[in-house]
Structure 1
């Protein structure tokens, strides 16, 4: 069994050595990969000196790093953790066990059920995590406790079937939504969280990255749930058409005249737009269902190839 510990890094020289040593201690059989994302503080040299396999991703952004990791590395279990020493290594064996022996496709290291809100000193980060959790679970009918955690374990089925589209920190949200939409097996595992040590700075911008996360949620809702998305827009346009049309129609009934032609025209346009939006939703919903069927067939092929590889 091959376990790969994946550590995306950008200027983590103060903590990367400890992270590598901690995960070596609890997973001595694992290969530890550090992907350096244009660090300028010698993170790569420190990681290499600690015995990690160091590779480079020159396109800036965590999403770009994970794209390269997932494409380059073959393993039976992938454990992803940030290089900032905020996630204790002691939970790693349990996460690996859920993937290897319990067939979980993704294990989410849940910070929010333990120490996150007391350790994290940035109130807007706390609020953002709660908001994102509610939106994702509401839109995609999930029960994921921590959407944006950087501590996760994956099976090969998830890693090799996940289309990475995001470039930055919104990648965690995208991974969660992909697992929910494709009905992959997802497990929540409560883990403790500790704030960054003094001198280590977060690369996450509360406002700009938070906006990107929210934008990603709504984009993926449109892509994965087109009928509810366009159906809601169609309903809004239909209500607008009705609000504009009813007074004109009541006036016509009482006087026999149509005195507000511009209002009637706008009402008609809004009604036509409502029908077009609903038709778009129906067509795209058919396309999405077909894509899901193709995805399931691809998973079957991948599973068959995996069994053949293990038999050899």
Structure 2
């Protein structure tokens, strides 16, 4: 959606959980580079002084009782109306200086601008090697499956248009929400722009809320679920082909024995082979049916996005 206005409203969204060490600086930095923006800090059950410090720095502070970053983003997207949204973590790992350029790209017509850490300093600054490996694995898998070239799949620094925010269904509850956003955008052929940003590791005393193993499993589960929903034909098709090939090989071995002896000596194998062939065929058919439904869902999404943009422009 291209916004035809000389004075667009900008909302900076900062989901926070126990970030008292860094939140004051983050709010101050974004107030400096985006002086006309409204900065929202959503406190997700913090047990420290995050909310008080954020309010003192000039942010609008709200509470979100449902634990998890995905739940916080869902609340933000539901509650706040703006022409442009900038989302950033409260841990002071992303540079506020990049925000004006991200806002400008949204105003040019992009649906989502991605703050690309991986093209700059992420792998040098990030002190968690398993996170580096995880980023590469997730990036490679998604780009192959969606025939895309996105560099940073899981960044927490993004900018969005009004239409994206109001039509994006936030389903994930935790940190896997960024991966979900990227897959949603690729599946619906949205306009994406990657802007390289300088990443810096957390300052001393600031503790990451990420659990390398637990959150990694949730991210992989999210990818698995979204591929099943967005790409059902390749997903179920390949499962069907593998199962069908196994069934065919077993049936072929029984057929060869019958050719040589004139007798079916392995009835259990033959029955299992036929069942595997049927299951493989049904899986392929299910993939075809679900692929049709997925295409209809993408069509509805486009119509919803167009209607949202139309209503928004005519209500300004």
TM-score, length basis structure 1: 0.98
Which of 151, 154, 162 is the matching residue for 1:145? 151
2:170 pairs, out of 149, 164, 167, with 164
Rounded Cα–Cα distance in structure 1 between residues aligned with 2:193 and 2:208: 27
Which residue matches 1:190? 196
Q: Look up the SS of the partner of 2:212 in the other structure.
A: coil
1:302 aligns with 2:308: yes
What CA distance in whole angstroms lies between the structure 2 residues aligned with 1:190 and 1:108? 8
Shift of 1:270: 0.1
Supply the RMSD in Å over aligned alpha carbons.
Answer: 0.7
Count, aligned residues: 309
* Correspondent of 2:82 among 53, 59, 75: 75
- Distance between the aligned counterparts of 1:141 and 1:48, measured in 2? 44
Pairing 1:130–2:132 present:
no
Aligned pairs (5 A) from 1:1-312: 1-100=8-107, 102-310=108-316
> What is the rounded CA distance, in whole Å, between the counterparts of 2:39 and 2:136 in structure 1?
32
Structure 1 runs not aligned, ≥5 long:
none
TM-score for both structures, normalised by structure 2: 0.97
Cα distance between partner residues in 1 of 2:115 and 2:30: 15
Cα drift, residue 51 of structure 1: 1.1
Q: CA deviation at 1:206?
A: 0.6
The SS at the match of 1:67 is helix
Q: What is the CA-CA distance between 1:299 and the residue it aligns to?
A: 1.5
Task: Output the CA distance in 2 between the equivalents of 1:158 and 1:84.
Answer: 25
Structure 2 gaps of 5+ residues are 1-7
SS in 2 for 1:254: helix
Distance 1:147 1:120 in 2: 16
Q: CA-to-partner distance for each residue in 1:41-64, whole Å, 9 max, x for gaps?
A: 110001111110000100100000
- What secondary structure does 1:160 align onto? helix
Structure 1 residue runs of 4 or more that deviate by more than 6 Å after TM superposition: none
- The offset of 1:301, in angstroms, is 1.1
